[in-house]
Structure formats: structure tokens, C-alpha cells
Amino acid sequence: MISVKALYYDGKSSVQTPVELVFYESGKVLIRSDASQWDSTVDRLSIAARLGNTRRNIFLSDGSKIETDDNEAIDRVCRYFNKNRPQSLLHSLEKNRTYVLAALLLTAATIWAGIEFGVPLVAKTVANSLPAHVEHKLAKEALAKLDSWLFTETSIDSNVQEELNRQLQQLTADTQREHRYRLLFRNSTKMGANALALPGGNIILTDALLDLAENNEQILAVLAHEIGHIEHKHGLRSLLQDSLTALFMAGLLGDIASVTSLSVALPTVLVETRYSRQFELEADRYAIELLDQQNIPVEHFTRILTLLEQSHGLNPEFDYLSSHPATDKRIAAISDRRK
Amino acid sequence: MQPNHHPFEFHGKAGEFFKIWIVNILLSIITLGIYSAWAKVRTRRYFYNNTYLMNAPFDYLADPVKILKGRLLVLALVIVYVAIAALFPEAEAVLILLFIPVFPWVVIKALKFNWYNSAYRNIRFHFSGDYLKALWVFVGLPILIAFTFGLAYPYFTKARKQFVIDNSAYGTSRFEMTATTNQFYAVYGKALLILLATLLTVAGFSYALWQGIGLTDGSINPALPAILLLLFYPFLMLVYGYVYTQITNLSINHTFLPHIQFESRLETGKICWLYFTNALAIIVSLGLLIPWAKIRMARYRIACLSLNSTGDLDQFISAEAEQAEAIGEEVGDFLDIDIGL
């Protein structure tokens, strides 16, 4: 026999009645208040799952409810009558320090694996299975936006343009022909010396980049890097990875903080810039191989990277929030691969 | 008759909630998100069950299976939407236009679900807003705001609070809000002054910084925009905290049930301090202090809440009402709609 002090609510009005609840081994349950008493059976009670030390609810079949603070006694009743097995398991998980620590480590490991392998793998698979016109459509929209926001008309001589375009075709002669490569020339005061790879095969060179380059090989090195972005479908993949990361973070923290809050936005941005830096390194590796094939010394590539850094006056310490790895790290990585 | 004063109390503990929280996350991951419906109910229950008024806790009674069904339906709708938008880009605008008249329905359904599943002393809350009114408040007024260059915004806030509170009931007893439109305009007017003062301060700071760390050759230090943003963020939080605090106090202090008047005594400074230290703690602890931050916020908000009653709290009678499905709640969740009460 287990007896607990409780509060009774009939479900029809908000009146609170103190009662005593008595459980018998036979399964009979007695509910006794100052004014009256009545009985029920354990089978007809629905006992809420334990949740920390919050007050326990016991629902009766007629819509009335009993509340008690004596969680331990109710747990003993549940064990004795074999009620609420799966739910009580949950409470033992939450109560035990070792399990909680294990849950913490497992969660951290899953998040790390998801960001490091899961998201990039899914994005790569999806990017490779999407039809080519998806990339073309993306590129078209991006180019229209860039043209209206950043670019003005080029002042590069059309003969120079044609010559560079011809060299681009040579450079890409051995690629898989999935993309049709074309050079676009634009002027931009805001971007300075820069090159952009659009999904599907368009590469944009700014006038300032052509001014900056000391020779033709340096431009070809930049092109090789941009071809790397296009061949690896980095545009589409980063779009997919960024949306997947945002979804992943929101799914993880969604119940906890709203998607728009700083505590979700900040880790998302950090992960996205990390992905972007990984893509830059991947494009660098592609460029080195391509330059090797064309017998263009890799020094042209490291030289133009240094020139670009100088022209933008970038602070090499400012790495974590940057979309590109620091130039000295890129150059070190390139020399490593040449050994 | 002298009214009796009854404070709300919050008994939740950060350590206890941390364990529930981490087990929720782990089980959600292992079950590929299916458990998240149960996790949501368990989290809500923890906060409701720890909120006490006159020695009785609140209850959250939602059925996780219903929430799961709602989530799956939302997922299916999103997949259909993304597929249509990808295959027929021209149709995307049409889909968005089609969603506009659905939006008020979503708000009503979400409120119905939430209220129906909230109870106190075994009496459920109810929501009974009608569609046309919701269409005016949630679609009509935002259009009006656009046409009046934001001047109608305080009126929109008032109409939203009024719609939610006046259509809510505890058992058969209706809530009522008596705050006036002028009072809402007064709050936003002061907020605007604070914002202007803030902008002037930040402009001054920026100028000083520009002189200080702008490079000598006239070009801009690339870290400057980031520094300015960091400077601006706490100020913005101050304005946001002020509006949140004052609007919450205003609407709750003018909310009534028969024989009962509610009271909220939030302070702008304390709310801002909580926002700021919570954000900092969450970032520094890589998210581990999220449960602590949530408990802390709930404790302060509930500690500021009380009611004055001239009758007793035994007078309320339950109402017969239709059950609500979780779909509205889940669409609302997905779109991150702040229904606001």
C-alpha cells in the first residue's frame, strides 16, 4: 500500500481540492478528500511521464486530474504495476550523469561529422545529379545581378579579349566538355583586381586584374584556378552547402533559439566561410595540375596571388571570417604539393 | 473589496533542464528528427509545469504524434514548393501570392492548437478568432504600413495584441485588453527618440574610429565595417529590448479576466542585460549554456508577472471546444512566426 498527498481538479471548474491517494497491491486506488471518497483502479489511470522534479499529473478516465509532488512514490507505483516503461527509461537517461555526458559527446561528434563530411557529401552528390541547365540558370541570374550592382563596361581591347579567349579554349581542351568555357570582361571600381567563376563555364575578369598581371602566364594561372571552381561545381555546391548548413543548424538549435537569432547565425556563417576556404584550396590544387600539363611554371600562380593580396591590402591575420585562406597559407600549400 | 495580489513563480533549474535538453537533442539526431516532436512537448512541459500560480502549475498537454504529423505535412509542402519553384521558376511568385490568404488561417490554427493544449487547474485555454478579422490584422494592416511609410506600425502591434488577447479564453471566461492606440504610439515614439540618439552616438563613434584606424593613405581598413557592426549591435538590442519590455507591460497591465487584472513589471535595463549576457554566454560556451540562458530568461519574465483578483480563482468553468490540429502550429514554427504573447 502506497499513500500520497495530492490535489484534485474535476475538470469542470477550477476548484482545487486536497486529497489523499492510496494505491493497493490489488490494483485498487482510493481517492479521499475531506468531504467524500471514491475508488478507481490503476489500469484506469493515465500517469504522465516523469519530467525532472516537476509536479506529476495523473489523469482519470472521467477527465478529472490529480497532481502530486511525490514523484518517488508514483515511480514506485509505476514499477510495481509495470506501467510507463518506455517513459521511465527517458527519466533514467536524464538523471544519470554518465548517460548525459555520453549524450553530450555523441551530439558533439555527430555535429562535427555532419559539418565535416555529411553536408559536403550530400551537396556534392546532389550537385552532380542535377541537370546542366540548373547551373546555367543560376549563372544567368548571378550575372544579371552582378552587372547591375558591381560592373561597368570593360575598356579592354577586343583583340586582347579574343586572344585570351583562344588561350582559355586551349587550357580547357582536355576537360570533360560538360561546361562551355567563355571569358567575360568587366570593369569594377568596387571589386578591384578580381576574377569570378560562374557555374556552367563563364569566367569574369576585371580590367584591374589585366592591369595588375605582369605577363600572360599569370592571367592563365588565375584562369586555371577559376576553371577548378567550375569543374568542381563549386558555385552550385556552395549554394547547396550553405542552405544545408542553415537547415542543419536550425534543426539542431531550432527548438532552442529562433533561426534569425545571433546564436544560430554566427556558427552558420563560420561554417560557411570554412567551406568557402576549402573550395579555394581545392581550386588551387586543380590549377597546379592544369598548369603542370600546360608546362606553365607554378611560380606565375604564386606571384599573381601575392600581387592580388598587395592590391587589396588585405590583412593576413583576418582569417576566420574570410572567404579566402590567407595568401601565405595558400602559397605554402602550393609549394608543399610541388615537392 | 481589497484585491488579493498573487505572483507567478518559476521553479525551473538550469542543471535539470540541461540534462533534458541534451537527451532531447541526441534522441532527435539518432531518430533522424522523428523524436523532435516529443522533444518539443517535453521542453514546453518543463517550462509550463515549472510556472506556478497560487500553488498550482500550468500544463502543456499537446500530443507529440499530432505535432509529428504536422511536421511531416509541412516538410511535404516545402518539398512540393521547392520542386515547383525549381521546375517552373515562373510559378514561384504565384505560389507566394497563393500563400498570402492562407497565412491568417495558419496564425489562427497555431493559436488554437497552443491555447487548447495549455491548461491551468485542469481547465484548458481556448482561442476563437475569426478568419476575416485575422485577414485584416495580418495581411491588410501590413499593406497599410507599406503605404503609410511605417506610420501604421504601432497600430498594427496594438491590433495584433488585441486580436490575440480578446479572442482568448480561460475555460468559458474571455480575456479582454483595454490598452488604447495612443498608448502604443507613445511607446514607439519614445523608441524612435532612443533610436535617433543611438544613431547619432554611433555616427560619432564611427567618425572617431575613421580618424583613428582608417589607414593613412585614405583607403579603408577592411576590419572597420565589422567593428562598426559590433558597436552597433548592443545599441540595437537596447532599442529592441525597450520596445519588447514596454509593449509587453502595456498589453499585460491592461489585460483582464472577470474579477482579475494582470500585471507585468519588466524593466528595460534588466531585459537588455539578460539578452546581452545570454548571447555572450551562448557564443563563448559553444551553445552549451543555451539551457541556462533559457531558464534565466523565463525566471525573470515570470517573476515580473502577477495578478490582482477580487474574486477567488475557483470560479472558472471549463468550455466545450473542438480539438485543434497541429498543422498551423508547425507551419508557424517553420516560418518562425512570432505570434507574440
Give the helix, strand, coil percentages of chain B, each rounded to 5: 65, 15, 25
Backbone φ and ψ of B336, nearest 5°? 60, 45
> Is A1:A23 a contact under the CB 8 Å cutoff?
yes
How many residues belong to chain B?
341
Q: Select the residue of B22, B121, B313 nearest A103 (Cβ to Cβ).
A: B22
Residue A309 CA to residue A314 CA, distance in Å, equals: 6
Residue B285 identity (one-letter amino acid): S
To the nearest whole angstrom, how far is the Cα of B258 from the nearest Cα of chain A? 14
Task: With beta carbons under 8 A apart, name residues in chain A contacting B275.
Answer: none
Q: If you ran DSSP here, which 8-state letter would residue A152 be given?
A: B
Candidates B303, B304, B274; CA nearest to B289 is B274
Q: If pLDDT is split at 50, 70 and 90, which confidence band does B176 have?
A: very high
To the nearest whole angstrom, how far is the Cα of B180 from the nearest Cα of chain A? 30
> Is A100:A90 a contact under the CB 8 Å cutoff?
no
Q: Which of A51, A87, A315, A317 to mutate to test the interface with B (most CBs of B within 10 A)?
A: A51
> Is B164:B137 a contact under the CB 8 Å cutoff?
no
Which residues face B168 on adjacent strands? Answer: B127
Longest CA–CA separation in chain B, Å: 77
Query: Is the pLDDT score of A318 beyond 80?
Result: no
Q: Do A262 and B283 touch (CB under 8 A)?
A: yes
Q: Do A137 and B20 touch (CB under 8 A)?
A: no
% of chain A surpassing 90 pLDDT: 11
**What residue in B sits closest to A6 (Cα-Cα)?**
B56
Task: With beta carbons under 8 A apart, name residues in chain A contacting B335.
Answer: none
Residue A110 touches partner B, C-beta closer than 8 Å: yes
Q: If pLDDT is split at 50, 70 and 90, which confidence band does B214 have?
A: low
Residue A226 CA to residue A284 CA, distance in Å, equals: 9
SS3 state at B233: helix
User: Residues of B numbered 159-178 whose beta carbons fall under 8 angstroms of chain A's beta carbons: which are they?
Assistant: 171
Candidates A133, A122, A225, A234; CA nearest to A178 is A133
CA dihedral (A160, A163, A168, A169) in degrees, to 10, reads 150
pLDDT at position A221:
87
Cell of A19: 486529497
Task: With beta carbons under 8 A apart, name residues in chain A contacting B340.
Answer: none
Q: If you ran DSSP here, which 8-state letter would residue A13 be given?
A: B
Residue A321 touches partner B, C-beta closer than 8 Å: yes
User: Residues of A numbered 9-38 whose beta carbons fall under 8 angstroms of chain B's beta carbons: which are they?
Assistant: 9-16
Instruction: Give the relative orientation of helices B224-253 and B153-166 as an angle to the nearest 10 degrees.
Output: 50
Residue A20 CA to residue A39 CA, distance in Å, equals: 11
Q: If pLDDT is split at 50, 70 and 90, which confidence band does B242 have?
A: very high
Task: With beta carbons under 8 A apart, name residues in chain B contacting A11.
Answer: 122-123, 318
Q: Do B318 and A11 touch (CB under 8 A)?
A: yes
Mean pLDDT highest for which of A19-33, A318-332, B211-225?
A19-33
Residue B238 CA to residue B253 CA, distance in Å, equals: 22
Query: Is the pLDDT score of B247 beyond 90?
Result: yes
pLDDT at position A317:
44
Candidates A159, A179, A160; CA nearest to A169 is A179
Q: Do A263 and B283 touch (CB under 8 A)?
A: yes
To the nearest whole angstrom, how far is the Cα of A97 from the nearest Cα of chain B? 9
B221-229 long-range contacts (CB < 8 A, ≥24 apart) are: B221/A315, B222/A313, B222/A314, B222/A315, B222/A318, B223/A315, B223/A318, B226/A321, B228/B202
SS3 state at A313: coil
Residue B197 CA to residue A5 CA, distance in Å, equals: 58
User: Residues of B numbered 262-281 whose beta carbons fall under 8 angstroms of chain A's beta carbons: which are they?
Assistant: 279
Q: What is the pLDDT of residues A123-175, one digit of tens each?
A: 989 888 888 777 888 888 888 888 888 888 888 888 888 888 888 888 887 77
Q: Do B25 and A107 touch (CB under 8 A)?
A: yes
Q: At CA A205, angle to CA A300 and CA A288, rounded to 5?
A: 30
Task: With beta carbons under 8 A apart, name residues in chain A contacting B31.
Answer: none
**What residue in A sits closest to B312 (Cα-Cα)?**
A15
User: Residues of A numbered 240-279 whose beta carbons fall under 8 angstroms of chain B's beta carbons: which are they?
Assistant: 251-260, 262-263, 266-267
Can you say whether the dihedral through the CA atoms of A116, A121, A124, A127 is positive or negative? negative
Specify the range with the lowest mean pLDDT, choosing from A150-159, B37-46, B116-125, B153-162: A150-159
pLDDT at position B302:
95
Candidates B74, B39, B82, B80; CA nearest to B327 is B74
> Is A235:A198 a contact under the CB 8 Å cutoff?
yes
> Higher pLDDT residue, A255 or B298?
B298
Place of cell 507599406: B146
Q: Select the residue of B22, B46, B122 nearest A64 (Cβ to Cβ).
A: B122
Cell of A299: 611560380
Q: Do A54 and B219 touch (CB under 8 A)?
A: no
Residue A48 CA to residue A28 CA, distance in Å, equals: 19
Kind and range of the H or E element at B202? helix B181-213
How far are the Cα atoms of A110, A313, B117, B217 from residue A318, in angstroms, in the given order? 29, 12, 50, 20
Q: What is the pLDDT of residues A264-307, one digit of tens each?
A: 667 777 788 888 888 988 888 988 888 888 888 888 888 888 88
Q: How confident is the prediction for chain A on average, in pLDDT?
A: 82
Specify the range with the lowest mean pLDDT, choosing from A3-7, A198-202, B187-191: A198-202
**Exposed, middle or buried: residue A41 (CB in 10 Å: 0-12, 13-18, 19+)?**
middle
Cell of B214: 582608417
**Exposed, middle or buried: residue A118 (CB in 10 Å: 0-12, 13-18, 19+)?**
middle
Alpha helices in chain A (DSSP H): 71-81, 85-95, 97-113, 119-129, 132-149, 158-171, 207-212, 216-231, 234-253, 262-293, 299-312, 327-338
Q: How confident is the prediction for chain B on average, in pLDDT?
A: 84
Cα radius of gyration rounded to whole Å, chain A: 33
Q: If pLDDT is split at 50, 70 and 90, which confidence band does B118 have?
A: very high
Query: Is the pLDDT score of B226 beyond 80?
Result: no
Query: Is the pLDDT score of A316 beyond 60?
Result: no
% of chain B surpassing 90 pLDDT: 42
Q: Do B57 and A256 touch (CB under 8 A)?
A: no
Candidates A77, A196, A103; CA nearest to A147 is A196
Q: Do B279 and A263 touch (CB under 8 A)?
A: yes
pLDDT at position A262:
60
Residue B313 identity (one-letter amino acid): L
Residue B24 touches partner A, C-beta closer than 8 Å: yes
In three-state form (DSSP H/G/I as H, E/B as E, the rest C), the secondary structure along B300-325 is: HHHHCEEEEECCCCCCCECCCCCCCC
Task: With beta carbons under 8 A apart, name residues in chain A contacting B19.
Answer: 52, 94-95, 100
To the nearest whole angstrom, how far is the Cα of B122 from the nearest Cα of chain A? 5
pLDDT at position B53:
92
Place of cell 543548424: A249
Query: Which ipTM was obtained for this model?
Result: 0.79
pLDDT at position A102:
87
To the nearest whole angstrom, how far is the Cα of B77 from the nearest Cα of chain A? 16
Pairing of strands A182-186, A17-23: unpaired
Residue A111 identity (one-letter amino acid): I
Q: Do A99 and B294 touch (CB under 8 A)?
A: no
Residue A121 CA to residue A237 CA, distance in Å, equals: 10
Task: With beta carbons under 8 A apart, name residues in chain B contacting A9.
Answer: 121-123
Task: With beta carbons under 8 A apart, name residues in chain A contacting B336.
Answer: 258-260
Cell of A154: 570593360
Is the full-model pTM beyond 0.90?
Answer: no
> Is A37:A60 a contact under the CB 8 Å cutoff?
no
Residue A214 CA to residue A86 CA, distance in Å, equals: 72
Strands (E), B233-314: 255-257, 260-264, 305-309
To the nearest whole angstrom, how far is the Cα of A224 from the nearest Cα of chain B? 28
Q: Select the residue of A10, A100, A313 nearest B19 (Cβ to Cβ).
A: A100
Query: Is the pLDDT score of A260 beyond 50?
Result: no
Domains and CATH numbers, chain A: 2-95 (2.30.29.30), 111-338 (no CATH)
pLDDT at position B179:
93
Query: Is the pLDDT score of B323 beyond 80?
Result: no
Query: Is the pLDDT score of A57 beyond 90?
Result: yes
How far are the Cα atoms of B180, B186, B247, B249 from residue B183, in angstroms, in the given order? 5, 5, 9, 11
**What residue in B sits closest to A66 (Cα-Cα)?**
B122
Q: If you ran DSSP here, which 8-state letter would residue A233 be given?
A: T
Q: Do B16 and A258 touch (CB under 8 A)?
A: no
> Is A241:A278 a contact under the CB 8 Å cutoff?
no
**What residue in A sits closest to B317 (Cα-Cα)?**
A13
Q: How many A×B Cβ pairs under 8 Å?
A: 126
Q: Do B17 and A52 touch (CB under 8 A)?
A: yes
Q: Do A257 and B222 touch (CB under 8 A)?
A: no
SS3 state at A234: helix
Residue A298 CA to residue A306 CA, distance in Å, equals: 13
